[in-house]
Amino acid sequence: MKQKDRGINRKAWLCAMVVTSAVLLQAPGAAFAEEQQEFALDQVVVTATKIPVKQFEANANISVINKEKIEQQHYANLEQALRDVPGITLTNYGRAGFDSSNGLKINGSPNIVVLVDGVRANHAGLSFPATTYMDMENIERIEILKGSASAIYGSDAKGGVINIITRNPQEDKSVLKISGGNFSGESYSFLNEGVKNDWTYRVVAKKSLLGDAEDGRGITIPQSLNSDTLGFKVSKKINNESDIKLSYNSYKSKWMYFDGASGGGNTRGTADDYDWNVVYNYQINDRTTNVFSFKNSHYKFLSDGGSGQYASPWENIVNTLNFSDQITRKVDTRHTMVAGVDYTRDNVVSTNGLTLNNKALYVQDEWNFDQQWKLTTGLRYDEHSLAGNNTTPRLNLGYKISDRTNYYLSYSEFFVAPTPYQLFNANHGNVNLKAEDGSTKEFGINHRFNDTLVMSANIFQRKADNVIQYNYNSNQFNNTDEDAKGWDIQLNKKISDSISAFMGYTYTNMKESRGSKINAGGYIPKHAINIGVDYVEGKFDVGIQGRAAIDRKGKETVESFFPCDSYWIWDIGVNYKVNSEAKAFIKVNNIFDKFYAEHSAASSYTPGNWYTMPGRNVIVGMSYTF
C-alpha cells in the first residue's frame, strides 16, 4: 500500500508542478497582452458590504464560483463546489446521511453564516448541511467572504459568509439532465423557466440515488441515499420602482450508512427540509432603495442511532422564522449608507421546544475620500435571548494606488452564541457556557500584473475568548480561548484564448488551547493548495481541479489518526457540445484513487478507525435544452 501511495503521490506532485509552471512561467507576448480583456476579479459581488462592487475593489478576501464553473464540473451539491475554494476546509465523514456533519470551516472556523439571495439560511445550533443543497442548476454564483463579518451579518459570522445567488429567468426554456456512474449513482433533474410580460418563473426538480462506495483501498463503504429536491421561484415586476419574488425549496431523503469506525453498525434515517421566501425590492428614489425579506423554514433530521454496541437514536428538528428590512442610501457621490433590522426566531423542537429570539439593528457608512481612499465603518447591535446583548463594530480602510493595485486594512469584532445542544444536552451540555467574543485583523492586496495575470494576497489574525469546544477529558462543552493566524495567495492566469489557470495557497496556524491541540485538533491542514486549469475550444470544455492538504496530522498523541498526513486529490470534468441543444459530459473524481480520510474515530477507539473517503468514481451524463 505504501509503495502504491508513493507512486500515486509522484504522479500527483508531477501534475501539480506542471500546472503551477503553466500558471507562473507562461510569458505572454506584448501583442497578446494588448489583445486580452480583463478576465479575473471583475465579477460584481455584494456580500462584502451589501453594496455591489467589483471583486477586485471589494477590499475583502472574497472568492466567487460562477455558473460556468458549476456547469463545467457538474458538482452534485454545494459541498463539492466549496472544496475548490482556497481557505475552505471540509472534514466529511464520507458517508451518505451525515448531512449536518460536513465539517465546513473558513480560515479554521466552523462559525459561518450561509445566505441564499442575501437571506440567512442557518438554523440554530446546526452546521449548514452543504451536502443536501443539491439545486446546483439554479445557482448564478456563490460568493465566499473569508473573514469575520458579524458587524453586518451577526452571530456565527466569525469565519465568514457564504452567499448563494440564484439565477433569474431570462427566456422560455426547459433543461433535462440525466447522469449515472459507479457507486450505483444516478441523477435526474428537470428545469423549466419562462418570461411573460412582467412575470418570470423557474421550476426545478431533481432525484438523486447513491449506493455502496469504495475507498482508495477497494474496501466497500456500505451506504445508500435516495433524495428528492424541488424548488420554484416566481417574480413579478409591480412597476418601474418595485418587484416581488416568492420562492420555495424542499429536500427530502432516506439514507443508510455503516458506522464501523465507532461501532454504530447500520444507521438509518431521514431528512425533511423546506423553506418559503418572500423578497420585496423598492426603489424609493434615485438615491434610496429598500429590500424587505421574510423566510419561514423547517429542518428535520432523524436517525435511529444504528444497530451496533453504541447505538443511540437522535434527532434535530428546528423551525425558523426570519425577516429583515434594509435601506441603502447614496447620500452623495462619495457617501453610501446602509441601515437595517433583523429578527430571527428559532423553535428548537428537539430541545424540549426551546424558543430562541434574536433582534438586531445595524448601520454601515461607506465613504470615498477621493479616487484613492475609501473608509467603511459599521456597527451592529444584537439582543439574543440566550447570549444577551452584543455590539460588534467594524472598520475597513482601502487604498487604491492605481487601476492595477489596491490595499486594504480591516478590523472587525464578532460574537458567537452557545447552541441549545451545547447548553442543555443531558450528557455533554454545560449551562454555564458564555458567549464567544473576539476580533479579526486583516490586510490584503490585489494586483493586476497585466491583462492576463491577477494576484490576490491576504493575511489575518483572529483572537477570541470563551471559544466553545468539546473537552474529551470532561466529556462536556467548555469555554477556552483561540489564537489563529494565516495567509493566502491566489493567482489567476489567462494563458491563451482557450486556456486559463488558477492557483491558490493557504497557510493556517491555530495555537493549542485548553481542550484542543494545534489547528483544531489537527483537523485543519497547515498548508493547502488549490489548482485548476480550464480548456475551452470549439465544442469542448474541460476543467482539471487539484487540491492538496499538507501536514494534517490529527491528534499527534494518537498513532495513525489519519491514513496519511498529506495528500493530493484530482478531479476532471470533460464536456462536449453535441449541438445547440445537447451536451454530453464525463466527470472523474479522485482520478488517482487516493486512499484518505477527513474524519477519524482513532482517538476514541483504536488506530485505523477512519471514516474513509470514496475512491475514484466516474459519472457520465447528458443534458438537453428545449
- Determine which of 258-272, 278-292, 391-405 has the lowest per-residue pLDDT on average: 258-272
**One-letter amino acid identity for 67?**
K
Q: Is residue 377 a part of any domain in this protein?
A: yes
Is the pLDDT confidence value at 460 over 90? yes
Is the pLDDT confidence value at 85 over 90? yes
Is the pLDDT confidence value at 121 over 60? yes
Is the pLDDT confidence value at 29 over 70? no
Q: Is residue 11 a part of any domain in this protein?
A: no
Give one word for 602, left, alpha or beta, with left for phi > 0 and alpha for psi -120 to 50. Answer: alpha
- Determine which of 57-66, 102-111, 544-553, 601-610 has the lowest per-residue pLDDT on average: 601-610
Cβ atoms within 10 Å, residue 201: 16
Beta bridge partners of 256: 224, 268
pLDDT of 428 reads 85
Is the pLDDT confidence value at 58 over 50? yes
CB neighbour list of residue 113: distance below 8 Å, 6 or more residues apart: 120, 122, 149, 153, 154, 156, 157, 160, 161, 162
Q: Is residue 493 a part of any domain in this protein?
A: yes
**One-letter amino acid identity for 365?**
D
Q: Is residue 191 a part of any domain in this protein?
A: yes
Q: Is residue 1 a part of any domain in this protein?
A: no
| Residue-wise pLDDT tens digits, 357-369 | 999 999 999 999 9
Three-state helix/strand/coil letters over 354-393: EEEEEEEEEEEEEEECCCCEEEEEEEEEEEECCCEEEEEE
Is the pLDDT confidence value at 533 over 50? yes
- Determine which of 39-53, 341-355, 487-501 has the lowest per-residue pLDDT on average: 39-53
Ranges of H-type helices in 26-160 = 30-35, 67-73, 78-82, 150-153
Q: Is residue 7 a part of any domain in this protein?
A: no
- What mean pLDDT comes out for the span 302-323? 85
pLDDT of 350 reads 85
Three-state helix/strand/coil letters over 408-460: EEEEEEEEECCCHHHHHCCCCCCCCCCCEEEEEEEEEEEEEEECCEEEEEEEE
Kindly state the percentage of the chain with pLDDT values over 90. Answer: 73
Is the pLDDT confidence value at 531 over 90? yes
Residue 25 buriedness (CB in 10 A; 0-12 / 13-18 / 19+): exposed
Band (266; pLDDT cuts 50, 70, 90): confident
What CATH code is carried by the domain that includes residue 490?
A: 2.40.170.20
pLDDT of 342 reads 97
pLDDT of 522 reads 86
pLDDT of 304 reads 87
The C-alpha cell that represents 472 in the structure block? 474529551
Q: Which domain holds residue 543?
A: 44-625
- Determine which of 246-255, 259-268, 464-473, 488-497 has the lowest per-residue pLDDT on average: 259-268
- What mean pLDDT comes out for the span 37-41? 56
**One-letter amino acid identity for 38?**
E
Q: Is residue 242 a part of any domain in this protein?
A: yes
Band (190; pLDDT cuts 50, 70, 90): very high
Q: Is residue 304 a part of any domain in this protein?
A: yes
- In this structure, are strands 405-416 and 527-537 parallel, antiparallel, or unpaired? unpaired
CA dihedral 128, 130, 136, 139 (to 10 degrees): 40
Query: For the chain, how many structural domains are there in total?
Result: 1
- The whole-chain average pLDDT of the chain stands at 89
Q: What is the DSSP string of 498-512?
A: SEEEEEEEEEEEE--
Is the pLDDT confidence value at 31 over 70? no
